[in-house]
Amino acid sequence: MISKELLSEVIGVDVRYMSDEYDGNLVPYETREGWKTINIYELAHKCKEWALGYELGYEIETKLYSIDGDIFPFANIYYRNNKSKSVDTITTTEPEAIFKACQWILEQKENNG
């Protein structure tokens, strides 16, 4: 699940409320204009664009990993200077891995002011 704060950053609109559950592939959220939805895969793409456009130029790469025979998506974060950062992003879906990586970036932004 993507946080309300991250969704606001990525789509550039003040999100007032988010539903706890997706409606199929749609993420429902409320703004001043009312309820809206965005496709989860479109949102994941927008998150990757947001990360790349962020001042340090983060690039998010997703991969599949096998753990005890089960396959999970995982995201690596690369800085513009080619250094990489592994963040605990193992999830059940690729969009969720991207959201976790972007949440980490947002937290770095908040912590560094």
pLDDT tens-digit series, residues 50-75: 998 866 688 888 888 787 888 888 78
Poorest-pLDDT segment among 9-13, 65-69, 76-80, 93-97: 76-80
The tokens of 42 are what?
Answer: 């479109």
**Where do the H-state alpha helices sit in the chain?**
4-11, 40-53, 94-111
Location of structure tokens 């560094």: 112
pTM over 0.85: no
Q: What are phi and psi of 48, to 5 degrees?
A: -65, -40
DSSP 8-class letter at 82: S
> Domain containing 85: what range?
4-111
- Buried b / exposed e over 79-108, threshold 16 CB at 10 Å, is eeeeeeeebebebeebbbbbbbbbbbbbee
Interatomic CA distance for residues 53 and 30, integer angstroms: 25
Give the total number of structural domains in the chain: 1
Beta bridge partners of 30: 17, 35
